Amino acid sequence: MEGLWALGVLLLSCLLLLCPVGSQTSPSPDQHLQTDPEEAPSQHHAARATREQKAGSAQEGLPPRPRCVRCCEPPDQRFSYPQYQPLPQINMTILKGEKGDRGERGMQGKFGKTGVAGSRGHTGPKGQKGSVGAPGERCKSHYAAFSVGRKKPLHSNDYYQTLIFDTEFVNLYDHFNMFTGKFYCYVPGIYYFSLNVHTWNQKETYLHIMRNGVEVVILYAQVSDRSIMQSQSVMLELQEQDEVWVRLYKGERENAVFSDEYDTYITFSGHLIKYSGDP
């Protein structure tokens, strides 16, 4: 008897469980009209929990029965979440402008401080012997020389007289002017000059070798009963455009040099010894 009673109770419980569930799962047309298809899932679940709570209160005093849980919602009552829409992409190359013109160059900045000198490096290896160079120009030599004479005698007067020569022995490049009786220096350097004259009986001989209007050396012979040959020589360092000549002293006394048309008794010579540009 007890087994049959237990079986009856179990059978009754199953019937009571199926009746509310069937009534709840088969909604009436009115309920379809009142149900919002856009109802949120949270409201739907809350309504279902309320219905289940009422059904449970009606079955109080009965043994617990298994609970039926629906795994998914009906297709027409699913809640559709809004889909994510990505922001539009902007092509930055479209906004890029054309390349501009090159600007002017700026001013140069200040120089920095001089750094400390580094240590001397090691001596490198000896290089190879170079090729033979082109032949150089031939060494240019400088020359200057003259030698002139006079065949006419000359007496002094109240003024200084330049001794003019009428005979030309050597006159290289015409550095000695026969009309003025002067040597003009065109090649600077050291020169050697010599003067030779013949004195006149019972007359004084008084001459100077001049450089640019200044007496350099004197040739002098006192009054004598016989005539003699007298000479003077000197070395001078001349610059370009210097002038050298022989001058007869003015006539304070009987002053003269002798010569004739057949022989040359008076000579004046000079030549370059060393060019100033040579080492």
Q: What structural domains does the chain harbor?
A: 145-275 (2.60.120.40)
Cα dihedral 68→71→77→82 (10° resolution):
150
The span from the CA of 234 to the CA of 190, in Å, is: 11
Which two structure tokens, joined as six digits, stand for 9? 């109770």
Query: What contacts 38, CB < 8 A, 6 or more positions away?
Result: 79
Question: In the predicted model, is pLDDT for residue 79 greater than 90?
Answer: no
The span from the CA of 146 to the CA of 272, in Å, is: 10
The closest alpha carbon to 156, from 228, 257, 225, belongs to 257
Contact 152, 261 (CB under 8 A): yes
The closest alpha carbon to 65, from 26, 23, 19, belongs to 19
Burial 7-32 (b: 16+ CB within 10 A, else e): eeeeeebeeebeebbeeeeeeeeeee
User: Would you say how long the chain is, in residues?
Assistant: 279
The span from the CA of 62 to the CA of 47, in Å, is: 24
Q: Write the pLDDT tens digit of every residue in 56-74.
A: 555 555 555 666 655 655 5
Cα dihedral 254→260→263→267 (10° resolution):
40
Of the pLDDT bands very low, low, confident and very high (cuts 50, 70, 90), residue 193 is very high
β-pair partners for 220 = 206
Residue 146, classified by CB atoms within 10 Å of its CB into exposed (0-12), middle (13-18) or buried (19+), is buried
Residue 177, classified by CB atoms within 10 Å of its CB into exposed (0-12), middle (13-18) or buried (19+), is middle
Question: Rounded to two decimals, what is the model's pTM?
Answer: 0.51
Burial 157-168 (b: 16+ CB within 10 A, else e): eeeebebbbeee
Q: Write the pLDDT tens digit of every residue in 144-167.
A: 999 999 999 988 888 899 999 999
Q: Write the pLDDT tens digit of every residue in 196-252.
A: 999 988 888 999 999 999 999 999 988 888 888 999 999 999 999 999 999 998 877
Q: Which amino acid makes up residue 138?
A: R
